[in-house]
Amino acid sequence: MLNILVVEDNQVERNNLVRMLRRLKTGIKIFEAATGEQAIKILRQEMIGLFFLDIELPDISGLKIAATIRSMPQYELTYIVFITTHVYYQLEAFKKYHCYDFIEKPYKKEDVAKISERLIKGITKEWDKEQVVRFQIRNCILKIFLKDILFIESQGRNCVIHTKNNQYIIPNISMQKLLERIGASNFMRTHKSYIVNLKNIHLIEKHEKNSWIVHFENYSLVAYISDKYKKDFFNKSCD
């Protein structure tokens, strides 16, 4: 799933832009911020794939937000589109913050579609090619290939990603949030504490009256299927 952050203090204009973006493609999630403070909080908590930044905000400039974005390793090459009425900002933005393009106010639906469709297509194409999920853990970016994930297990406030060769602890993330971050159709919830990669299942074994065990090739640990999820699981795994 592609996360987009729209930063615009004018609610009417922000709503218009968000509505235009939602019409372009399914499989995107849009975050909204009316101030720079809200924007920075979101981009630190979520992995954003595309930014639309209003330059003039009530607290800090969109250019300063861009500076914050570029200072973070995971956003070094992420696309930024500025929204502005002041075209004289363009040279500074292109040179200093490496923004991709501008949308001038009042913006036209055709301009938004032209820029956004090109960027979303390019981003999703690259993601489809790589098929990875990224997490920021302290000052590092953890990159995990989806094909290597066997299953994901909830442990308290953390999640553990089990891969063919390693286990990775992702702190302070819910199972639902992690499933949204992965955004791949072959992953599904099988239990309140487990998400399974259907492509890597080796064997399914009856465990108790209302539960099953999922085994993975050359891996000693297992995942579980509860009665609540069994119908959806067996329907999907047999497709």
Q: Which two three-digit tokens encode residue 177?
A: 């949030």
Average confidence (pLDDT) over 72-78 = 79
Q: What is the mean pLDDT of residues 7-30?
A: 86
Residue 107: pLDDT over 80 = no
Looking at residue 161, its pLDDT comes to 97
Q: What percent of the chain has pLDDT over 70?
A: 87
Q: What percent of the chain has pLDDT over 90?
A: 36
Taking 90 as the threshold, does the pLDDT of residue 61 lie above it?
no
- The token duo for 66 is 């861009």
Sign of CA dihedral 193, 196, 202, 205: positive
C-beta separation of 89 from 71 below 8 A = no
Determine the pLDDT at residue 223.
Answer: 96
- List domains and CATH numbers for the chain: 2-130 (3.40.50.2300), 133-237 (2.40.50.1020)
Confidence band for 130, pLDDT divided at 50, 70 and 90: low
According to the model, what pLDDT value does residue 35 have?
95
Give the confidence band of 87 by pLDDT, cuts at 50, 70, 90. Answer: low
Q: What is the pTM of this model?
A: 0.57
Q: Which helix (H) or strand (E) holds 25?
A: none
Tens digit of each residue's pLDDT (9 = 90 or more) over 169-207: 999 999 988 888 786 668 999 999 999 999 899 999 988
